[in-house]
Structure 1
Amino acid sequence: MSAYAKLEQLFHKRSVLSGASAILHWDNAVMMPDGGAESRSEQLATLGLMSHELLKGPAVENWLEEASSETLDEWQTANLREMNNQWRHGNAVEGSLVEALSRATSQCEMTWRAAREENDFSVLQEELEKVVSLTQEMAMAKAEAFGVTAYDALLDQFEPGCTAEAIDVLFDDLGAFLPGFLDQVLEKQRVNGRGEKPEGPFPIEVQRDLGEAFMRALTFDFNHGRLDTSHHPFTGGTPDDVRLTTRYEEDDFTQSLMGTLHETGHALYEQNLPLKWRHQPVGQARGMAMHESQSLLIEMQLSRGPEFLQYAIPIIRDAFKGEGENWTFANLKQFYHRVERGFIRVDADEVTYPLHVILRYRLEKALLSGDLKVKDLPGAWNEGMMSLLGVTPPNDRLGCLQDIHWPGGAIGYFPTYTMGALAAAQLFEAARNDLSNMNADIRAGKFEPLVGWLKKHVHQMGSLKSTDQMLEDATGKKMGTDAFKVHLTDRYLKG
């Protein structure tokens, strides 16, 4: 057996272990009773350590070196590249640290739920300090091994090859553009109106059925996935068993619906990854920037667009038996395009969303460097919200307790949300240029052509190429801000 074939066997095992962990994480968030937290923490830590130890085997480094001289095709060569990257991440840290961080994040996630429910950051502080400390230790170990900054070492876990320097260029451009643009949009809405929210209540059962109906229309395969409820919407599981979640409010169906559509974008990416490379690194999604591009393309570019609304509003109105002025297309279009300086990232509009992300990006870099202490996070958060968005959260539930990412150890993740928005704008523009009937198909509820285009240019590419190369092949450009700014201008100032 060749060295490369041995590596494929090893990484297949790691993929299976990762899949088991993913299902346990889903169960943790959706179904597990609070009393199961301790045993679940042990289960996840053990699986994580087993996966880590597979990379630490003495033969793996030799196999990687031998495989580099073997004759491999394009996909195998890319797979070997991804194997090397996973190996270097795994070998940069000791198994004891991997296990300790897994236990700490499992416990911190459960504590975060209680702190958010009680609206009390002090409940979370001690557990979050442990997670941040262990993450700092991991980041420093990887930074030393890779010859990069600590933050770039963590960022590489979510968006391989990306650097804070590259993000700063994009975010500085948006930071210069968005505040003035936001003022223009808010003034236009003050003059022309912002649309009124239809009055509820909106039964949760109806909301769920409606969300599943749109998921089916968007080609989600319920034979290989399901929709559930959690504190924070997410997509997990495996490509053959995709678990996505949303959350519901009886007085506002739009929160759940847009959350469901957002997660459906993630889920379609997972379900359409290349089957031939299912359990290999090259068969995984390219990175979180491209993953977020798929969720934001479905939620923002598609589902808030006029063509989709022409298709969807009659269906929504019928589901809730809506009547009156607030249920007209004109009003609901205005309502779906409403821009406001809000507190909650996941409920934010396209214009203000990047500002939420820029705040978190700045804060998590400061936490990692030690310039910001965990105990000072609520105050720094509120100051940043006022500076970037002109609002101050009235409490920590609407402030620094709203996201699960840091309790879950995902430091270095947040920038990929806005990078995803930039990529989504480029991809949707390119799809419209390539698909001459796309607007008419959307109005008719025919999404197969658009999803097929995404499958060809993104989903089935797996990790064959870098994010920039995939974007350049599909759109003719590497990631930039131009398409996003044109999209915002067309929708919110000209539309």
Structure 2
Amino acid sequence: MTDAYHALEAHFARRSALQGALGILNWDSRTMMLPAASPARADQIAALEGAVHSALLDPHLPDWLAAADDDFGLDEWQRANLAEMKREVDLAQALPADLVEANARAASQCEIIWRTAKAEKDFRLLLPSLSVVLDRQREIAAALAGTLGCGLYDALHEQYEPGSRVAEFGPLFDDYAAFLPGFLAAAEERQAAEPAPDPFEGPFPLETQRRMAADLAARIGFTGRLDASLHAFCGGATGDVRITTRFDEDNFFKALKSALHETGHALYEMARPAAWQSQPVGLARGLGVHESQSLTFDMQVGRHPAFLEWLAPYLARTFGREGEAWSADNLRRRFRQVQRSFIRVDADEVTYPAHVILRWRLEQALIEGQMELADLPDAWNQGMRDLLGITPPDDALGCMQDIHWPSGAWGYFPTYTLGAMMAAQLFDTARKELPDLEGQIGRAEFGDLVAWLGDKVHRWGRRLSTRELMVQATGKPLDAAIFKAHLQARYL
């Protein structure tokens, strides 16, 4: 093995350490920081973002990469690592350092303003700062598109799901948008024919909810820190994986859902290949794959009838309640409910893809200059009417509900529905390969499923492409028909 490859590994290990520090700083900003500290924190984050980016502009890298490429002594993992290094360097060198820092600063500042604008339900308060973020994202898209040889939106999406293109997933999404009206109407008809679920009457003490969320996460296998935040997420650094959930005293289901969801993300981060933790090949394959892991526990397991048989008495004990509302049958009826709702994170499996499709269509139009940002609230409301037949009453329930655009995550949204489709396919295969899976889920025993996911997904990092990963795990590339079949079996 050449000295050049060793030099590359050492260089990327140092960069990984910087990324870890950035992850913890972002965590603190979103969970504990006072608003008055936001300007200084924006500068700190921008400086670290700049340092992480600058590490990929080191003048030695081109020579080291060229020398390592001629090394025939590299094994398959090292070759895959080298390919990921080249990809990261190529993308970084396409972006001017001042643009990276300007984007990070704009996003940090906009995210703080978003909190106030959302609370006041007024998009006009957000528009100036979000316009700056959008301008930076358009500049980034233009720079990356030239290197990647793709469209502007694809260039941004590449950062979250490498290799994925609108030409591939767009038809799947458009097909689902066409499938949804008839299927949703059929699900609503079935729903109307059975008794409505009994309500779960609060209040539910927040500390009890926190203990519930922490306990469920631990039962699945999470060993890290859990905090509260306005928007649930998974973060931290290598060896220090953390999650947040969100709490509502009148609705414990928000904490329940986000605990299961973020634990799925955390398990992926905790089980990435240990020998490659500081290297590009050791990262998660993409956010679509990442979302498949969270949705495996959130939707595939968390709504499974066997799990609900266990969950119902667990919840009754946790909150000291009794009665029909706390039965497994009532939970099943609640979780089979479909609703044309405004909020993506609260949406059911059937309508959730519509929320994603709306965001994808709007952000692509904004990035490619097909609409003006000032028109976003009206375009959003029209899109909701077209897809779900409802109109949000204000901007907080409409175009300002997500943190993604203010924080600079443009091109991210498609990964949610790609992940849902992957989760259905992975779980379908796991059921066939783990004969006692249903029984284990009914006992809240997840060791075999977690081990199966570790073997099929987690341990591979970025060694395989998303397509290769799905073929190796399930025997075929992503097949959206499996997701539709899952919905039909559960909701009709």
Does the CA contact (< 8 Å) of 2:313 and 2:327 recur in 1? no
Structure 1-normalised TM-score?
A: 0.98
User: Take 2:365 and 2:139, find their aligned partners in 1: how far apart are those partners?
Assistant: 15
Deviation, 1:277, is 0.5
Task: Report matched runs for 1:124-135 at 5 Å.
Answer: 124-135=126-137
1:215-246 Cα shifts (integer Å, max 9, x gaps) = 1110111xxx2111111111111231112111
Task: Report matched runs for 1:354-433 at 5 Å.
Answer: 354-433=353-432
Does the CA contact (< 8 Å) of 1:307 and 1:440 recur in 2? yes
Number of residue pairs aligned between Structure 1 and Structure 2: 490
Task: Report matched runs for 1:179-218 at 5 Å.
Answer: 179-218=181-220
1:84-131 Cα shifts (integer Å, max 9, x gaps) = 111111000100000100000000000111111111111110000000
User: Take 1:32 and 1:53, find their aligned partners in 2: how far apart are those partners?
Assistant: 27
Deviation, 1:197, is 2.5
User: Take 2:340 and 2:3, find their aligned partners in 1: how far apart are those partners?
Assistant: 58
1:64-92 Cα shifts (integer Å, max 9, x gaps) = 11111112111111111111111111000
1:316-358 Cα shifts (integer Å, max 9, x gaps) = 1111112222122211110122110000000000000000000
Secondary structure of the corresponding residue to residue 58 of structure 1: coil
Structure 2-normalised TM-score?
A: 0.98
Deviation, 1:396, is 0.8
Secondary structure of the corresponding residue to residue 60 of structure 2: helix
Letter in structure 1 aligned against 2:399: C
Partner of 2:99: 97
Deviation, 1:270, is 0.4
Partner of 1:21: 22
Is 1:310 matched with 2:312?
Answer: no
User: Take 1:389 and 1:242, find their aligned partners in 2: how far apart are those partners?
Assistant: 36
Task: Report matched runs for 1:99-178 at 5 Å.
Answer: 99-178=101-180
Letter in structure 1 aligned against 2:32: M
Q: RMSD of aligned C-alpha atoms?
A: 0.9
User: Take 2:213 and 2:10, find their aligned partners in 1: how far apart are those partners?
Assistant: 39
Does the CA contact (< 8 Å) of 2:311 and 2:328 recur in 1? no
Letter in structure 1 aligned against 2:237: T
Q: Percent identity?
A: 49
User: Take 2:339 and 2:199, find their aligned partners in 1: how far apart are those partners?
Assistant: 14
Partner of 1:335: 334
Does the CA contact (< 8 Å) of 1:174 and 1:481 recur in 2? no
User: Take 1:315 and 1:328, find their aligned partners in 2: how far apart are those partners?
Assistant: 10
Partner of 2:37: 36
Is 1:7 matched with 2:8?
Answer: yes
Partner of 2:82: 80
Secondary structure of the corresponding residue to residue 175 of structure 1: helix
Shift in alpha-carbon separation, 1:216–1:365, aligned structure 2, 3 A: same
Secondary structure of the corresponding residue to residue 237 of structure 1: strand
Q: Give every structure 1 segment of 4 or more consecutive aligned residues whose post-TM-superposition deviation is greater than 2 Å.
A: none
Letter in structure 1 aligned against 2:315: I
User: Take 1:213 and 1:384, find their aligned partners in 2: how far apart are those partners?
Assistant: 39
Moved more, 286-295 or 53-62: 53-62
Deviation, 1:401, is 0.9
Secondary structure of the corresponding residue to residue 43 of structure 2: helix
Does the CA contact (< 8 Å) of 2:20 and 2:238 recur in 1? no
Letter in structure 2 aligned against 1:157: Q
Deviation, 1:259, is 1.0
Does the CA contact (< 8 Å) of 1:173 and 1:481 recur in 2? no
Is 1:470 matched with 2:481?
Answer: no
User: Take 1:251 and 1:35, find their aligned partners in 2: how far apart are those partners?
Assistant: 30
Letter in structure 2 aligned against 1:461: W
Letter in structure 1 aligned against 2:82: L
User: Take 1:327 and 1:320, find their aligned partners in 2: how far apart are those partners?
Assistant: 10
User: Take 1:431 and 1:127, find their aligned partners in 2: how far apart are those partners?
Assistant: 46
Partner of 1:258: 257
Task: Report matched runs for 1:214-225 at 5 Å.
Answer: 214-221=216-223, 225=224
1:19-55 Cα shifts (integer Å, max 9, x gaps) = 1111111110100011111111111111111111111
Does the CA contact (< 8 Å) of 1:170 and 1:480 recur in 2? no
Secondary structure of the corresponding residue to residue 453 of structure 2: helix
